[in-house]
Amino acid sequence: MSARAVRDWLAANAPDLRLIEVAESTATVNEAAAALGVEPARIAKTLAVRAGELLFLLVTRGDARLDNRKCRDTTGARPRMLSADETLEVTGHPVGGVCPFGLKAPLPVYVDASLKAFDMVYPAGGCLNSSVEVTPEHLFDLVGDRWVDLCRLPDEAGGA
């Protein structure tokens, strides 16, 4: 059902984008990178996050980690990742296929500025073996509520 929701959403809102379906799993950043033949950083992972009363999706590069301090400074509360069951309930997508397209209900989508380093990124497509190829700017234009800096990259020191 989730892949169908994404396919339908893309057809209605972004017919220029196609759902890439592969035989291999794309459920983790490394699996998706291997299946698509790209570096892990280009995988645009989507995290379901609660910070106080605020519930949002964060789309960030595959090798970035949510920085608790940056999130707290931006949202006013410490972030907590939703469980797999909670994520499925609010997005309609299973963990490993979570994306900002075809959501069960509207959610704010924050796009991390770390994605701007790439010409193309690959968010999941609603299931465990699909992705979408999109520029970061087009991704933001389609679903983004705001650009944020909530993550740290592997070479950055700092606490999460």
pLDDT digits (tens, 9 = 90+) for 72-96: 999 999 999 999 999 999 999 999 9
Task: Specify the CATH superfamily of domain 2-149.
Answer: YbaK/aminoacyl-tRNA synthetase-associated domain (3.90.960.10)
Write out pLDDT tens, residues 98-125. 999 999 999 999 999 999 999 999 999 9
Task: Report yes or no: 91 and 3 within 8 Å, Cβ to Cβ.
Answer: no
Ranges of each domain in the chain: 2-149
Question: Would you say residue 158 has pLDDT above 60?
Answer: no
| pLDDT tens-digit map of 140-149 | 999 999 999 9
